[in-house]
């Protein structure tokens, strides 16, 4: 049964903490970067639709959840049981349309109720809970989503697009000024406006840019491969040749 398998995993982690020199040295702080890395590896497996790899990466992420909890337990901060109880209670509390008498019409009402419930739980702002260390593109998207759930949003996507154009024009005007800080601010406004427009198109900008990064990497690798095959290094090529291979790569990558 799954309960037995989960207990076996917890017992293994506790044994490692007691007997493995490396595991004994770790803290919540020392492995936090690895935890983030594991989450990104889960996302990569999902993007690749590699379910065998996803299975493995979810296991790695689960290990980190158990590991963090066991270390906190040793510090007498909380237990793994507390972690499980906390998420169980939160799921029930934030889904009154499933576990209570609340009636909703569609997922949009569910999301709006979710934000209201969070405020009732004591959050000072609708924007609380969006981690500051999220990638900036992703954080912008989440901030906009949360504000929109309580009605602070544009009514028409055409107006959002006008805002994008307005921000781009302001960025161009700021290029003529001396202030690098002002230019940086205006470029930030352009990104924020584009994220907002992507949201209106139901496109996750973080996913979109990640795919473009991968596409660029694949196509540039093709350029490197072709130049290497000719017995030269990439810095021995020129822009005209690289552009030719770039166009060629579009039909192959």
Query: Scanning the structure block, which residue is given the tokens 């900036």?
Result: 136
Q: Which CATH architecture has domain 2-87?
A: Orthogonal Bundle (1.10)
Give residue-wise pLDDT tens across range 99-135: 988 888 888 888 878 777 877 887 778 888 888 888 8
The pLDDT of residue 253 is 59
How far is 147 from 188, CA to CA, in rounded Å?
18
Using alpha carbons only, give the angle 153, 193, 107 rounded to the nearest 5 degrees.
40
- Answer yes or no: pTM beyond 0.85: no
Q: Can you spell out the DSSP letters for 32-76?
A: HHHHHHHHHHHHHHHHTT-HHHHHHHHHHHHHHHHHHHHHHHHTT
Closest CA to 223 of 233, 210, 212, 209: 233
In this prediction, residues 212-224 reach a mean pLDDT of 94
Give residue-wise pLDDT tens across range 3-28: 899 999 999 999 999 999 999 999 99
Cα 9 to chain centroid, rounded: 27
In this prediction, residues 79-84 reach a mean pLDDT of 96
Contacts of residue 195, Cβ cutoff 8 Å, sequence gap at least 6: 137, 140, 141, 144, 205
The pLDDT of residue 245 is 93
Assigned token pair, 71: 């270390």
Over 90: is that where the pLDDT of 75 sits?
Answer: yes
- Tell me how far apart the 2 most distant CA atoms of the chain are, in Å: 72
Assigned token pair, 164: 């994008």
How far is 98 from 166, CA to CA, in rounded Å?
44
Domain boundaries, the chain: 2-87, 94-153, 154-203, 207-249
Cα torsion 172, 175, 179, 184 to 10°: value is 60
Assigned token pair, 252: 């192959």
How far is 9 from 101, CA to CA, in rounded Å?
38
Assigned token pair, 207: 């996913």
CB 112 within 8 A of CB 149: yes
In this prediction, residues 156-184 reach a mean pLDDT of 92
| CA distances for 155 relative to 96, 158, 159, 167, 181, angstroms | 28, 9, 8, 19, 31
């Amino acid at each position: 049964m799954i309960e037995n398998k989960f207990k076996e995993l917890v017992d293994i982690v506790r044994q490692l903490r007691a007997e493995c020199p490396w595991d004994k040295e770790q803290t919540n702080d020392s492995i936090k970067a690895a935890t983030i890395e594991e989450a990104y590896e889960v996302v990569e497996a999902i993007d690749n639709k590699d379910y065998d790899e996803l299975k493995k990466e979810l296991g790695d992420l689960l290990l980190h959840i158990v590991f963090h909890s066991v270390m906190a337990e040793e510090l007498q901060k909380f237990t793994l049981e507390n972690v499980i109880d906390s998420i169980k209670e939160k799921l029930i509390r934030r889904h009154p349309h499933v576990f209570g008498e609340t009636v909703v019409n569609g997922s949009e009402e569910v999301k709006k109720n979710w934000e209201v419930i969070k405020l009732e739980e004591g959050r000072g702002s609708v924007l609380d809970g969006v981690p500051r260390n999220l990638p900036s593109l992703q954080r912008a998207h989440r901030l906009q989503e949360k504000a929109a759930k309580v009605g602070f949003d544009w009514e028409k996507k055409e107006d959002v697009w006008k805002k994008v154009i307005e921000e781009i024009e302001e960025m161009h005007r700021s290029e003529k000024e001396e202030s690098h800080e002002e230019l940086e601010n205006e470029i930030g406004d352009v990104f924020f406006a584009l994220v907002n427009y992507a949201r209106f198109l139901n496109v996750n900008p973080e996913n979109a840019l990640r795919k473009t990064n991968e596409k660029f990497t694949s196509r540039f690798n093709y350029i490197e491969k072709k130049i290497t095959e000719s017995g030269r290094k990439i810095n021995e090529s020129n822009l005209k040749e690289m552009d030719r291979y770039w166009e060629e790569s579009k039909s192959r990558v």
